[in-house]
Amino acid sequence: MGNKRTASITAGLVLLAASGLSAATPASALTPTIIQAGGLSAFNNDNASGDADGVQWLSSIRTLVLAKPGDYRIDGIVAANIRVSASAGTVNIYGTNKDYDDLDVNTQTKRAAFFNNRAGGDNGTVSVGASGTVNAPGYTTSALVGVFVPNTSQPSNPDSVIQASSANNATINLHNFTIFGDGQNAVRPLQGNMSGVMTNMIVVNPGFGVSSSRPGGSGGGAFEIGANGSLTKSYLKVADDAIKPKLSGASASNIRVDLQNSGAAVQFGWSPGQSQGNVTVSNINVNGYIRQTSGDDRPGAGESVVSGVIGGNTDNYSATGIHVHPDTGKTFPNIVRLQFPDASAVPTVQIGMDLSSNTSLTNVTGTGATHSFDFIRPTGVAQQTVHLAVTKTTATGEDAVTPTSPTYGQYFTVPSTVTLANP
């Protein structure tokens, strides 16, 4: 399924090139609705006569509501959240930033240029640029500056910068713009969204505890991927879960994640109900660090490079080509942390990754015991097989990191109900 979807996306980009259109421009974008600073309240001018444009501006929560399928172009720096609540069809939200180039962020020095120094609580009023509070060189032609909106029913999950209401039936595509968050996720949840494509996206969120909107809390994560949807060619500098392929058929590839002391690079889901399976993640560069100095000892899916609480369903989970390279002097106390709470086993779980030479490993015993590779499963249930392939760069070459290795075995927690096998 993933290969067919990738081929379809590639074919679409080839057609765009042949037509002379930019890859940043959806093929259907002939007369897009323009979203720009200073023009948001004008969307309400037609409300009394039936809301012909299908867009409403809720000034009290700085949120645009998109009620109709169509093309929506972000021009400039716009302080707003977006809620999609459209009928069946396609909602294309796009910008005119250049296509993502990993060469712009492939070193720690370059990544430092992509920053978010917001103190929060600013209603999106920020200064953009090297001397401002937010910056993303080359990627600010089109940007949403998220405004923190508390969620009274779920305080730990504030409204995201882009989200879909429970009434949404439209497919949501996102292309070529930047999201600056403020203590909330960039895109979550994408309810009702099927087969949405997200590509050439930049997300920059403040670090854990930085935002005054959520003092002592998460700085915000990145993308929840819709059912049969995809996320590709993007850079995610976040302080919470970055790539969330929770829904069936979701895929992600060619992404760089820069964790800012919290979160997971790949989060399959925090419960079996969230983790639907049949998901594929590949070619992910993981930088930054996680703040725990002695590991995360919470049950289930804690802060880790790859995490998930996976149920005993009939679908599969794959995260391969995960390239782990923490920042200088930093580390990821947990690298793989998977919990299998159900009695039946998941058919296929495949994890493949390589660790840079500066990746230190965790072996915490006793109270709060945790290890770099934690697999959690009850006793007396069906055997769960995990296909695991991990290597680590050393002075003499590439070492295989396995639970039976005299060097690396101490960094694993593997219960008797879990079998680690080669892919």
Q: How are strands ordered across the β-sheet holding 243-244?
A: 223-224, 243-244, 266-267, 306-309, 336-339, 373-376, 412-413
Count CB-CB contacts under 10 A for residue 63. Answer: 19
Amino acid occupying residue 244? K
pLDDT given for residue 149 in this prediction: 87
pLDDT given for residue 81 in this prediction: 97
Write the DSSP symbol of residue 112: H
Count CB-CB contacts under 10 A for residue 10. Answer: 10
In the three-class reduction of DSSP (H, G, I as helix; E, B as strand; rest coil), residue 48 is classed as helix
Element (H, E) at 388: strand 384-394
Count CB-CB contacts under 10 A for residue 212. Answer: 15
Count Cα atoms within 13 angstroms, Cβ side, for 201: 29
pLDDT given for residue 211 in this prediction: 85
Beta bridge partners of 398: 393
Nearest to 286 by CA among 311, 262, 310, 265: 265
pLDDT of the chain along its 423 residues, tens only?
Answer: 434 333 333 333 333 333 334 444 555 546 999 999 999 999 999 999 999 999 999 999 999 999 999 999 999 999 999 999 999 999 999 999 999 999 999 999 999 999 999 988 898 999 999 899 999 999 999 999 999 988 777 777 788 999 999 999 999 999 999 999 998 899 987 777 889 999 999 999 998 888 888 877 778 899 999 999 999 999 999 999 999 999 999 999 999 999 998 899 999 998 888 889 999 999 999 999 998 766 565 655 568 999 999 988 878 999 999 999 999 999 998 999 999 999 999 999 999 999 999 999 999 887 777 899 999 999 999 999 999 999 999 999 999 999 999 999 999 999 999 999 987
pLDDT given for residue 216 in this prediction: 72
Nearest to 264 by CA among 309, 228, 230: 309
Dihedrals φ, ψ of 181, to 5°?
-90, 175
Residue pair 306/335 in contact by the 8 Å Cβ criterion = yes
Nearest to 2 by CA among 168, 155, 230: 230
Give 409's contacts (C-beta < 8 A, 6+ positions apart): 402, 403
Nearest to 348 by CA among 375, 323, 385, 383: 385
pLDDT given for residue 218 in this prediction: 75
Nearest-angstrom CA–CA distance, 293 and 378: 27
Residue pair 339/317 in contact by the 8 Å Cβ criterion = no
54 token code pair: 């299908």
In the three-class reduction of DSSP (H, G, I as helix; E, B as strand; rest coil), residue 292 is classed as coil
In the three-class reduction of DSSP (H, G, I as helix; E, B as strand; rest coil), residue 195 is classed as coil
Question: Counting beta carbons within 10 angstroms of the beta carbon of residue 395, is it exposed (0 to 12), middle (13 to 18) or buried (19 or more)?
Answer: exposed
Rg (CA), the chain: 21
DSSP E strands, 225-277 = 230-238, 243-244, 251-261, 266-267
